[in-house]
Amino acid sequence: MIPLRDNIPSVRRPWAVYAIILLNVGAFLLTLRLDARQTEILFHVLGVVPARFSDPAWAAAAGYPGWGALSFATYMFLHGGWLHLGFNMWSLWIFADNVEDVMGPARFVAFYFCCGLAALTAHYVFNLHATQPVVGASGAIAGVMGAYFLLYPHAKVVTLIPIIIIPYIVELPAVVFLGLWFGVQLLSGLWSLGAHQGGGIAWWAHAGGFVAGMLLMPVFRRPGRCEFCWRGERDWKSLTRR
């Protein structure tokens, strides 16, 4: 499922979202100047390799530098290709402006990084000895989606569902779209445990980031800044009449 747009307007300019998107795009454009070997080294150094921290002796023998904690932040700004970058930034653009509305730019940035760290922790717990780097903003963006799930369950998300080669476009309640998305991440994570591999996708980072976003949203939201948030039964009745 690919979100195309939602129906919740932005009240304020999402300056933090603009900055995060620009940083991600800028970092990706810089990686295009590297050859395949240089890119691999960059991802291993500035991405997060779980075994680098669970097995320090292996990390030292493999030649990893000692300042690995920096990668806990830098991994969120690295992407493996145009599709990886594009889908992440589009999802951020769809959902994050309304979450920033509720928090303000500074709080949103702190929230975003906390979700990214929580997503990384979830990935690490289930992949302690993985030697492949995890990169990308999707864990932090999953946290944004988790916050949106609580703030705007009554919203509607215009969604593209590819059926073989036929594009099917449908309007879904946000609670349905995001609930299904989270369910897919969780089930895929459980399946990857049984299969002993994750297919290159950090399912547990997505699931962990989403849960973190729901838990952290009340901590970072600012009172009086949620003009279009869920108002309970009144909003539900308004939604079902449309």
Residues 108-157 pLDDT 10s:
999 999 999 999 999 999 999 999 999 999 999 999 999 999 999 999 99
Query: How many Cα atoms sit within 13 Å of 158 on the Cβ side?
Result: 8
Question: Which tens digit of pLDDT belongs to each residue from 47-101?
Answer: 999 999 999 999 999 999 988 899 999 999 999 999 999 999 999 999 999 999 9
Rounded to whole angstroms, the Cα distance separating 18 from 103 reads: 15
Is residue 146 within 8 Å of 211, Cβ to Cβ?
yes
Task: Go through the domains of the chain in sequence order and give each one's CATH number.
Answer: 2-241 (1.20.1540.10)
Q: Which pLDDT band holds residue 31 (cuts at 50, 70, 90)?
A: very high
pLDDT tens digits for range 151-175 = 999 999 999 988 877 888 999 999 9
Model pLDDT, residue 68:
87
* pLDDT recorded at residue 227: 85
CB 114, CB 216: distance < 8 Å: yes
The DSSP element (H or E) to which 200 belongs, if any, is: none
